[in-house]
Structure 1
Amino acid sequence: MTSITDPSISDRFTSEMEEIHNKQLKAYAEINDMTIERCQSHRQLVKLALDTYLKKCKDNEMLFQAIQALKIDVEQKNTALKEKQQTISEVTYEIQQKEIQKDDIIEKIEKLKEEQVKRKQLIESQNKANKDRLRNLQKSRLVFQDHLGLEIRAVFCKTQQANGEKLQFIFRNINQSDEDSPYIITMGIKEDGSYQIVSSDPMLECLPALESRLQETNNLAAFLANCKKEFISLARC
């Protein structure tokens, strides 16, 4: 056993302690370097994570703003779409009403056309009847002149009571004291084909009754004969 008093033991002990101390210093340096390296790496990772987070936050904020803008745009488009739908509904209703009005107008036009055709036919028929009546009157002219001493003239009247072409039946040889004195019945034909007594000269009080009888019988010859009798009676008074 080596004696503690051996001078070499102290040197070796010192040498070994220095060696252990150096190893510890070296290990400590390595640990310190590793710690610094890891701190730097951690700092880099934290910085990278922070940058990524900040970028992510910025991207999210931009995305949120885009979503908000899109939402506002969608709401505006929905509002505009509702307004257009309302406008379309109103225009559609207006078109439907105009279609109904158009159908009504077309129907009324067709009815007016039918009425116009009927009116035209009626007028043509009445004109034909009136022409036939006037023709018959003209044909009867000589007969009346021969049997009743009657002259027939066509005259044109334009008064409130009578308007248009009329016929005057002029009786003579009524008054024995003045055989050439005229006694006149003025008459025409209405649109419905009936006779219209316009006036008598001199005035016959019974003329309305004679006219009424004429409308009932349609016998013009008898009417004129009765008028002549009334004129004769009037001339004798």
Structure 2
Amino acid sequence: MASVRDYNVAEQFNSRLEEIRTKLLNQAMAEVLNDRAAELCQDHRQYMKSVLDTCFKKCKEDETMFDMIHAYKQDLKEKTSLLKEKSAEQLEVLSEIEDKEHHKALLFQRIEKLKKDQTRNRELIQSQNKANKDRLKKLNKCKDVFQKHLSLEIRKIQGEKLQFVFRNISRKDPDMVHTFLLQLDAEGVYHIISCDPPLEKMAHLEQRLQETNNFSAFLANVRREFVALHSGAKMA
């Protein structure tokens, strides 16, 4: 195979053949001077024919080998090019995988954060529900007390809104109603929606309720302000 790869082999081989040929010719010329010249010439011709046939056969084999080498080189070139393309595709796929893994990690982090937020919100809602239940208990207690002693009626209106109806405010007209509408928001904060008749101090009373969370005192103060309206009208 080493001789096949070396393109000077044929030249060296031809040179060697030429040396052999020259030597044989010299021998043949020397033998021509002898009595056996004719026989040696015939042998020489036969020998040369054999050598030439061998050389021709060897050249054909070399040509076939060179063609095979060229084909192998071309195939190797194509496979190398294909390998480079595959390597580039592989790098691209690896890059996509890395991006997806990074995106996956971000999603896991977001899911964990959402879980924590959900747990925190659940705890907050439970805490608010508990606080609202406590407030409702206080409202029911106030309701019982005020209904029994002060003729207070509490009506549930539109979901979380409560209407407080006072009677026995005016001595002249005990059935006259005085009302205000209260709403408890998601954070458990009281808000006065409306008041009939209006009270100048209602905003102050609402603020005090939010600060102290003493609903009984708030109802007592509201009733006191309603009574004061009639007392003021009477004095006028």
Relative to the length of structure 1, the TM-score reads 0.75
Among 161, 164, 170, the alignment partner of 1:169 is 164
Contact conserved, 2:151 with 2:168, CA < 8 A, in 1?
Answer: yes
Among 126, 129, 149, the alignment partner of 1:127 is 129
Q: Counterparts in 2 of 1:79-90, with a 5 A limit?
A: 79-90=81-92
Distance 1:130 1:111 in 2: 28
Tell me which structure has the larger Cα radius of gyration.
1
Q: Which amino acid aligns with 2:219?
A: L
Q: Counterparts in 2 of 1:11-26, with a 5 A limit?
A: none
CA shift digits 1:45-96 (9 cap, x unpaired) = 2222222222212111111111111111112222222222222222223222
Q: Is 1:188 aligned with 2:183?
A: yes
CA shift digits 1:114-148 (9 cap, x unpaired) = 21111111111111211121122112212112343
**Aligned partner of residue 187 in structure 2, secondary structure:** coil
CA shift digits 1:125-180 (9 cap, x unpaired) = 1112111211221122121123433112222x1xxxxxx23222111122344321
Contact conserved, 1:166 with 1:188, CA < 8 A, in 2?
Answer: yes
Relative to the length of structure 2, the TM-score reads 0.75
Q: Is 1:98 aligned with 2:93?
A: no
**Aligned partner of residue 193 in structure 1, secondary structure:** coil
Aligned residues: percent identity? 49
Q: Is 1:74 aligned with 2:76?
A: yes
Q: Is 1:151 aligned with 2:153?
A: yes
Unaligned segments of structure 2, at least 5 residues:
1-31
1:185 Cα deviation after fit: 1.4
Unaligned segments of structure 1, at least 5 residues:
1-27, 158-163
1:205 Cα deviation after fit: 4.3
Show the counterpart of 2:22. none
Show the counterpart of 1:117. 119
Q: Counterparts in 2 of 1:3-18, with a 5 A limit?
A: none
**Aligned partner of residue 175 in structure 1, secondary structure:** coil
1:220 Cα deviation after fit: 1.2
Distance 2:197 2:38 in 1: 152
Contact conserved, 2:150 with 2:168, CA < 8 A, in 1?
Answer: no
Contact conserved, 1:214 with 1:220, CA < 8 A, in 2?
Answer: yes
**Aligned partner of residue 160 in structure 2, secondary structure:** strand
Q: Which amino acid aligns with 1:179?
A: P
Contact conserved, 1:148 with 1:225, CA < 8 A, in 2?
Answer: no
Contact conserved, 1:150 with 1:169, CA < 8 A, in 2?
Answer: yes
Show the counterpart of 2:226. 231
Among 46, 54, 65, the alignment partner of 2:48 is 46
Distance 1:56 1:95 in 2: 56
Aligned residues: 200
**Aligned partner of residue 140 in structure 1, secondary structure:** helix
Q: 1:172 to 1:45 in 2, by over 3 A?
A: same
Distance 1:220 1:47 in 2: 132
Show the counterpart of 1:221. 216
Q: 1:226 to 1:140 in 2, by over 3 A?
A: closer
Contact conserved, 1:183 with 1:201, CA < 8 A, in 2?
Answer: yes
Show the counterpart of 1:64. 66
Distance 1:134 1:52 in 2: 118
